[in-house]
Amino acid sequence: MKRFILSALSFVTFTCSAQINIFHCGPYTITNELNKVPTINGQKVSSLKVTILEETGLKEEMTLMPASDGNSYGFMYMHPAGSNNRWLVVQLLQASMDAPTMTAKYPCTREVRK
């Protein structure tokens, strides 16, 4: 009986552990965990839109409003279908439509934790 309980507990422990995807993109670190809101540099995103590209591709559009530095940022994470390339496009969101757009593009590397 004790063996059965121990084996059942070990099964539950291993099946409940969620995979955490961590993406390092320039000065930004994106953390995605199953059934949780993604974080960028430890801050929860204020909005998220996920688009599936074909079978294996992904596009995530996120915003931080306001970020810890007081500015608002828009992020677009791209992982094209059938490719190992990933990148993050970051734009400073400004109130004035006449202000020049300030964007940056960073290549990303993926780290998986369990």
Residue 16: its pLDDT value, please? 52
Residue 80 backbone phi and psi in degrees, to 5: -65, 150
- Residue 109 CA: distances (Å) to CA of 13, 17, 20, 95, 96: 29, 23, 14, 32, 34
Helix (H, G, I), strand (E, B) or coil at 15: helix
40 band by pLDDT with thresholds 50, 70 and 90: very high
Q: Name the domain count of the chain.
A: 1
109 band by pLDDT with thresholds 50, 70 and 90: very high
Q: pLDDT by residue (tens digit) across 47-97? A: 999 999 888 899 999 999 988 888 999 999 999 988 889 999 999 998 888
Give the span between the Cα atoms of 114 and 102, in whole angstroms.
36
Whole-model pTM? 0.77
Give the span between the Cα atoms of 50 and 24, in whole angstroms.
19
Find the domain containing 87 and state its range: 2-113
